């Protein structure tokens, strides 16, 4: 997962997250003063940006990328909308081409739901998010 802080001095972090029950905890350190937004992107979801308010000690709590419908790994309806398999931050026919090539395989490049195989659930997530674009950094 790549996180990008904006609003102050730009900063980015790449974290390997371990998901459990569809969620992963993370801590970002050295977030620049003046940061007002934080975005997240993986190899299989659209970029999602949330507002951040830092307290007087440069800390923010409760910032998350889950939302109505889950946002898990990323399931349909959450802030991390899955289906961007080619990294363009949009879901379209180019992403479907990647899914089609890896259909019924165990290739992680097209495994949107993290189940270990490319199947109907991955297609359903892509279809639900079809023609969506992610947030800008």
pLDDT tens, 80-92? 889 999 999 999 9
Q: pLDDT grade, residue 77 (50/70/90)?
A: very low
Q: Residue 39 and residue 55: Cα distance in Å, rounded?
A: 19
Residues in the chain: 137
Tokens, residue 137: 């950094």
Q: Is-contact 53 60, C-beta < 8 A? A: yes
Tokens, residue 104: 């019924």
Q: Residue 35 and residue 6: Cα distance in Å, rounded?
A: 5
Exposure string of 24-33, with b = 16+ CB inside 10 Å and e = fewer, is beeebeebee
Q: Above 70 in pLDDT, residue 50?
A: yes
Report pLDDT for 98: 97
Report the chain's mean pLDDT, rounded to a whole number. Answer: 85
Which domains, from first to last, does the chain contain?
1-137 (1.10.1330.10)
pTM over 0.85? The answer is no
Q: Residue 78 and residue 48: Cα distance in Å, rounded?
A: 10
Report pLDDT for 89: 95
Q: What is the DSSP letter of 133?
A: B
Report pLDDT for 110: 95
Report pLDDT for 78: 52
Helix and strand element counts for the chain (H, E): 2, 4
Q: pLDDT grade, residue 71 (50/70/90)?
A: very low
């Amino acid at each position: 997962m790549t996180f990008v802080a904006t609003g102050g001095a730009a900063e980015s972090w790449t974290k390997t997250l371990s998901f459990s029950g569809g969620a992963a905890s993370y801590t970002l350190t050295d977030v620049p003063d003046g940061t007002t937004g934080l975005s997240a992107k993986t190899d299989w979801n659209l970029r999602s940006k949330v507002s951040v308010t830092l307290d007087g000690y440069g800390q923010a709590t409760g910032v998350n990328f889950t939302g109505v419908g889950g946002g898990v790994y990323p399931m349909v309806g959450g802030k991390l909308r899955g289906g961007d398999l080619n990294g363009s931050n949009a879901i379209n026919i180019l992403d479907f081409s990647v899914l089609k090539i890896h259909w019924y395989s165990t290739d992680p490049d097209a495994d949107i739901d993290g189940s270990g195989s490319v199947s109907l659930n991955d297609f359903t997530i892509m279809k639900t998010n079809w023609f969506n674009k992610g947030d800008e950094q």
